[in-house]
Chain A
Amino acid sequence: MTVDEGEPFGVWLGRQLRRRGVSQAELAKELDVTRAAVSAWITGRAEPRLEKIELIERFLGLSSGASVTRAELSDSADSLGWYHRPAHRDGGRELGNAAAYAFDSDLAVLAREATQNSLDERFDPERPVRVRYVLHELTGERLHRFLKALHWDDLRDHLHAAADPLRKTGRILRNGLQDLAEKDSLVLLRIDDYNASGLTGPEYGDGRFAAVVRRQLDSHKSTTAGGSFGLGKATLWASSRFGLVMMHSTLSETYEGQRERRLIGRLDLPWHELGDQQYAGPAWLGVPDRERDGTSRSWWADERTVEELYLSRGSDEPGTSFLVVGAYDAATEGGDLETMHENLVRGVADNFWASMIAGRDSAPMLEATVESLRNTTTVRPEERVDPHRHQPSRSRAVRAFLNGETVERITDAEAVLQKTVPLTVPPLKGRREAFEHEAVLLVTPMADGEEERPNRLVCMRGTRMIVMDRAVGEVVGTPPFQAVLLAGLAVGESEENAAAEAFLRTAEPPDHNDWKQTDDLTATYARGAATRLREFRQAMITMARAAARPSEGPPDEVPEALRGLLDLDPPQPNPAPKHPTVKSLTGEVRPDGAWQIRAVVRLPEGVDPWIMRPALRFGTLSGGGLPAGWAELEPESGCEVVEGRLRFTPGARTAAFRGVSDVASHPVAANLAIAEVDLVRGESAP
């Protein structure tokens, strides 16, 4: 246990009482002092005498001296339980988590929102935030142990009651319950982040914890970005068929003197009725808070409970683990682990490739992995999401920029050209000076085999989230390329870059997907801001086209109309020629050195029977093949052998024959050359 130096005794005592669910009056009675005395201790106006302290320790079940070290009482698992919020007295019904409706519960979307939250909550800005996705399917004994730890018995009836088949959420819920019962299997998705703030702050007031656990439509705004733990967190609940998410957080700053193993669960059901009781829907798993009518609050769990709930974290670094219970992918209506795994990888790669790029001397902002298990079996081992694999060209462009390896002329399939795109940042209202921000434009040839659309320009600022993905258009005579525009703080740390970053952020609509005139912009910046943005948008496309364009050569001599008609390129072979052809050839060299082959012949329609000589040749490096003879020639179907030639049955469309070469006629040993078989007209072999 950590000793929180300097914590007043009273604060410690107040917390222990709350956690035990003991009121000040009860303690007063037990110690035989007045309530006012206890109150004075807790508020720090007085301190108890040593003997009273010993009594307090004994009463709380703590060892002697615990109060000096400010030791903590572990929450016992026995007191854990679900608290279901009663329905509003006014009869109002909520039919599920409203925020969850704003999102498709597609795992790629979940990956985007959850990872964004982790990025926004990065703790040490010098190191990457690490995000780890673990898909874990449980069956049999393991599943039952997990459900027990989850106090599933307290939930089951509520879940069934809320599974109204007439509503979408109800149907998903019902299917989830059905699968769980019939297939005896449950998919857990755990999302861990490390080097993140963790769910800090008090139970109910302001802070990250309350923003996530207590308020669904709240956007707990920190300074770095919009939407930190905002609406996006709802995708966590939307990805659970039960609307059930467990949380385990290691805090970056202590709360109640503690940092590790802060746990709570939250269930989001629609309004439902059970017995004669009506429930609003939300429920929390935690220890009862006596001061709030038995509402569940988070608890400081022991390691065993954490393990039983599949919430163990890999290190004591701050951050949070979210466990989506009954995870599913709406995009694939359930989906197998492999598909879900792929969707997660894709979701992270598509949205955060830029944040995951490391320069030679700079760490990436983000590292992410995805892993899939079934009970104790690995389905897909932990896989680091590699931006260079998913977005090879753009990743190469950003890395070259971070490493200062950009060039002024593209001479290489992997070269990255760097240009400057000017952005005139207008003054804030009431100030005078506008200034010119130099945004960075990167252009690079598209990687071989890349699946992205070619000739696009993606724009980003400090967060390296893609704000816009714009078409540049094909530039004639240029290989396909990709372009990246870095603006604001993405260019580097400076006062001006920060000002440009602020300007562009103001120009983003709530979806953060454009730079245009917004109300905020009109209110904050001097006139002309919209024009400056328009110029900027135009300049970046013009520059990208210019950068991709090759230097001009002399005009072509060949008139366009003639070009296609004078082509010497070899023609496509006719798949249905009007003469017999060998369609398939198989065979091997026998131990005696002769080729033994089987050939299938395709025959065109014809009136007269085709008579062809099967020509065996040994291939050469240059020039025609060298003829060799047959020792045996045997019809198999659709033909007969007449004097070394094949006479095909009239009307037949395929035929097959076998042959053995004559070793004495071989121009070289059979195993040293390629055998070629062809059907020729004309007389028998020379």
Chain B
Amino acid sequence: MKRLFPYAVLAGEVGLEVLRARLDDVPIEFSMISAAQRTVALHEVERERWGTATLTVRVRLPKRELADGPWTNVACAAIVSERRTNVRAHVPLEQDEPGVWLGEVTLHRERHVNKAELIAQVSATVDEIDSRLIGRSEASWTIDLLATTPTKKDGIRTEWVDFGGEGAVHLDLFRSDPWFVEAVGEEPTLYLNKRFEGIEAILRSDRAVDRPAQNALASQIAQEVWTVLFTSVIRGLPKDDQGRPEWPGGWQESTLRKMLPDVLPDYSLTDALAEIVAREDGAGGDLHARVAHAAAVQARRTRHLGNFLRAFRRKAQEEEQ
């Protein structure tokens, strides 16, 4: 999809950085802020109870382009939002020097649960209309309230659990399974069964000889995860008032965007979404086979299974000699 603005917008890059962060006025280690990963980790061990997090942000605008362009009354703001708590805080920034804007963004602990998104947005008067959006930061920052290190963890939550143990009632039914995928709610979770002999040893092994088996196992787990996720998502797709499927947002949307191009490669994303729903309702045909294929692509099955087989055969040959 291509977009057109009915007025002049910035072509140059809007850069956004977080310079420092404080939890209740006490600075956190700068190592918890990663510009490369565009992530701030706010969970300091032994400092779990805090009320507010204050981030100092700096935005850099394409100075020359702004000076030469048709824009007046330029304003710059940071926006912190978290979908799950319906927070969208708009914080105007102050111009520090031409092209550089600074400000402080506050997050209240009780208004957030997991990850907040931070972006910068630029507005100006164009063609005599005030406050038109003329630019936003290319990539957003993630403010991760639960992470202890600023690494982008947009992965599926993974937990090691003893499926038969206390506090794992919901997994009791699957106590003899090596893993279980839960794909409902705000966050899908992969549970790995500690009770299942060998799985932890292989997955956590750092021996080179275990690598092929480890990757093949990981690939198999991943394939199942993606299959479950996809199937679960298309069952509960929201529809608009004309009955057409809508993008669901969250992990559901991410799953679709990742897998649809492999499920229906000759359909655009929008068309693929509609088509999936149509096939799901009516004669499914090859849909499930295609989903299995797309899941295998995500799980890199070809590579990992191929390597495993090669290693396995080599080992068998060695033993014969």
| A residues whose Cβ falls under 8 Å from a Cβ of B | 409-415, 445, 448, 477-480, 548-551, 553-554, 557-571, 574, 577-589, 595, 597, 599, 604, 619, 623-624, 670-682, 686
- A413 CA to B17 CA in the complex, in Å? 9
A671 to B258, CA, bound (A): 34
In the complex, whether B159 has a CB less than 8 A from a CB of chain A is yes
Nearest chain A CB to B119 CB, angstrom units: 13
Q: Which of A550, A567, A579, A675 contacts B267 (CB 8 A)?
A: A579
Assess whether B240 is interfacial by the CB under 8 Å rule: yes
Q: Is B282 an interface residue (CB 8 A)?
A: no
Q: Quick one: which of B4, B30, B148, B155 contacts A553, CB cutoff 8 A?
A: B148
Which residues of chain B come closer than 8 Å to A682, judged between CB atoms?
271, 274
Cβ contact of A676, chosen from B3, B152, B299, cutoff 8 A: B3
Which B-chain residue is minimally distant from A476 (CB atoms)? B149
**CB-based nearest B residue for A606:** B266
CB distance from B131 to the nearest CB of A (A): 12
Closest to A449 in B: B15
Instruction: Decide if A553 touches B45 in the complex (CB within 8 Å).
Output: yes
- Residues of chain B in range 9-51 having any CB-CB distance to chain A below 8 Å: 15, 17-22, 27-36, 44-45
Q: How far is the CB of A579 from chain B (nearest CB, A)?
A: 5
A582 (CB) vs chain B CBs: closest residue: B2
* 16 A/B residue pairs, CB under 8 Å, sorted by A: A548-B31, A554-B45, A562-B218, A565-B298, A565-B299, A569-B154, A578-B265, A585-B2, A604-B266, A619-B3, A670-B6, A673-B6, A674-B4, A679-B268, A680-B268, A681-B271
**Nearest 5 CB-CB pairs, A to B?**
A411-B27, A553-B148, A550-B31, A585-B2, A565-B222
Residue positions of B touching A, CB distance < 8 A: 1-7, 15, 17-22, 27-36, 44-45, 56, 127, 129, 148-149, 151-152, 154-156, 158-160, 190, 192, 203-204, 206, 214-215, 217-219, 221-222, 225, 240, 242, 246-247, 251, 254-255, 257-258, 261, 265-268, 270-271, 274-275, 298-300
A559 to B214, CA, bound (A): 10
- Complex Cα distance, B203 from A581, in Å, reads 42
8 Å CB contact of B255 from A480, A549, A568, A574: A568
A584-B2, A671-B7, A676-B1 known; A579 vs B271 contact (CB < 8 Å): yes
Q: Are B149 and A477 in contact (CB under 8 A)?
A: yes
Q: A479-B31, A565-B218 are in contact. Are A557 and B3 (CB under 8 A)?
A: no
CA distance A188 to B35 in the complex (A): 45
With most chain A CB atoms within 10 A of its CB, the pick from B6, B190, B192, B219 is B6
Measured between beta carbons, the chain B residues less than 8 angstroms from A564 are 300
Q: Is the CB of B159 within 8 A of A557?
A: yes
Q: Are A554 and B148 in contact (CB under 8 A)?
A: yes
B158 & A597 in contact (Cβ 8 Å cutoff): no
- Whether B6 lies near A671 (C-beta < 8 A) is yes
A571 to B44, CA, bound (A): 31
Q: What residues of chain B lie closer than 8 Å to A448, measured between beta carbons? A: 15, 17, 35
For B268, give its contact among A414, A569, A581, A623 (CB under 8 Å): A581
Contact across chains for B29 and A557 when beta carbons are under 8 A apart: no
Say whether A568 contacts B154, CB under 8 Å: yes
The reply to whether B258 and A570 form a contact with Cβ atoms under 8 Å apart is: yes
Asked if residues A570 and B254 are in contact (CB atoms below 8 Å), the reply is yes
In angstroms, Cα B275 to Cα A571, docked, is: 20
* Chain A: CB-nearest residue to B215: A561
CB distance from B308 to the nearest CB of A (A): 12
> How many contacts between A and B, using CB within 8 angstroms?
184
What is the chain A residue whose CB lies nearest that of B271?
A681
- What residues on A are CB-neighbors of B242 within 8 Å? 686
A550-B31, A585-B3 are contacts. A411–B20 as well, Cβ < 8 Å?
Answer: yes
Q: Which of A477, A574, A586 contacts B31 (CB 8 A)?
A: A477
Cα of A558 to Cα of B299 in the assembled complex, Å: 15
Q: Are A624 and B240 in contact (CB under 8 A)?
A: yes
Q: Is B29 touching A411 in the complex (CB atoms < 8 A)?
A: yes
Whether the pair B219, A565 counts as a contact (CB closer than 8 A) is: yes
Selected contact of B2 from candidates A410, A561, A569, A676, CB within 8 Å: A676
Name the B residues within 8 Å of A674 (CB-CB).
3-6
Do the beta carbons of B155 and A558 come within 8 Å of each other?
yes
List of B residues within 8 angstroms of A586 by Cβ? 4
Alpha-carbon distance between A679 and B268 when the two chains are bound, in angstroms:
8
Contacts of B27 in A (CB 8 A): 409, 411-412
How near does chain A come to B56, taking the closest CB pair, in angstroms? 8
Residues of chain A within 8 A of B257, CB atoms compared:
570-571
Q: Are A677 and B2 in contact, CB atoms less than 8 angstroms apart? A: yes
- The answer for the CA separation of A595 and B36 in the assembled complex, in Å, is 40
Cβ of B32: which chain A residues have Cβ within 8 Å of it? 550
On whether the beta carbons of A550 and B29 are closer than 8 Å, the reply is yes
Q: Judging by beta carbons under 8 Å apart, are A624 and B148 in contact?
A: no
Contact of B160 among A412, A557, A561, A676 (CB under 8 A): A557
In the bound complex, residues from chain A placing their C-beta under 8 Å from that of B159 are 557
Query: Which residue in chain A gives the minimum CB-CB distance to B60?
Result: A448
With a CB–CB cut-off of 8 A, which chain A residues contact B15? 448
* Complex CA distance for A553 and B47, rounded to whole angstroms: 12
Collect the chain B residues with CB atoms within 8 Å of residue A571's CB.
257-258, 261
Are A672's CB and B6's CB within 8 A? yes
CB distance from A396 to the nearest CB of B (A): 12
Residues in A with CB closer than 8 Å to B33 are: 413, 479
Complex Cα gap A569–B31 (Å): 23
Q: Are B270 and A678 in contact (CB under 8 A)?
A: yes
Task: Looking at the assembled complex, report how far the CB atom of B65 sits from the nearest CB atom of chain A, in whole angstroms.
Answer: 17
A578 near B2: Cβ-Cβ < 8 Å: no
Closest B residue to A479 by beta carbon equals B34
Min C-beta distance of B120 to chain A, whole Å: 14
From B4, B18, B251, name the one whose CB has the most chain A CB atoms within 10 angstroms. Answer: B4
Distance in Å: Cβ of B213 to nearest Cβ of chain A: 10
Please indicate which of the listed interface residues B29, B44, B190, B192 has the most CB atoms of chain A within 10 Å of its own CB: B29
Contact across chains for B190 and A566 when beta carbons are under 8 A apart: yes
Residues on the B chain within 8 Å of A619, using CB: 3
* Residue of B with least CB distance to A552: B45
CB distance from B35 to the nearest CB of A (A): 6
With A479-B30, A566-B158 in contact, do A415 and B20 touch (Cβ < 8 Å)? yes
Contact of A678 among B1, B28, B148, B240 (CB under 8 A): B1
9 new A-B contacts at CB < 8 Å, known A412-B27, A579-B265, A604-B266: A413-B19, A448-B35, A564-B300, A568-B255, A577-B261, A580-B268, A582-B1, A589-B6, A676-B3
Instruction: Determine how close the nearest CB of chain B comes to the CB of A145; give it in whole angstroms.
Output: 40
Closest CB in chain B relative to A609 CB, distance in Å: 14
Q: Contact partner of A412 among B20, B268, B270, CB < 8 A? A: B20
Bound-state Cα–Cα, A599 to B159, Å: 48
From known contacts A571-B258, A624-B240, infer whether A587 and B30 are also in contact, taking CB-CB under 8 Å: no
Interface pair B31/A588, CB less than 8 Å apart: no
Given contacts A410-B30, A595-B4, contact A567 B271 (CB under 8 A): no
- B34 surroundings in chain A (CB, below 8 A): 479
Contacts of A686 in B (CB 8 A): 242
- Across the interface, name the chain A residue whose C-beta is closest to B258: A571
**CB–CB B258/A553 < 8 A:** no
Across the interface, A445 reaches (CB within 8 A) one of B30, B160, B190, B240, namely B30
Roughly how many angstroms separate A599 CA and B270 CA in the complex, as a whole number?
19
Residues of A with C-beta under 8 A to B271:
579, 680-682
A678–B2 CA distance with the chains assembled, in angstroms: 7
Cβ of B219: which chain A residues have Cβ within 8 Å of it?
Answer: 565
Cα A569 to Cα B39 with chains together (Å): 14
Residue of B nearest to A569 (CB): B154
Chain A's nearest CB lies how many Å from the CB of B40? Answer: 11
- Shortest distance from the beta carbon of B42 to any chain A beta carbon, whole Å: 12
| Residue of B30, B240, B242, B275 ringed by the most chain A CB atoms within 10 A | B30
Contact A413 B30 (CB under 8 A): yes
Query: In the complex, A570→B36 CA distance in Å?
Result: 17
Chain B neighbourhood of A414, CB < 8 A:
19
Complex CA–CA separation, A167 to B222 (angstroms):
70
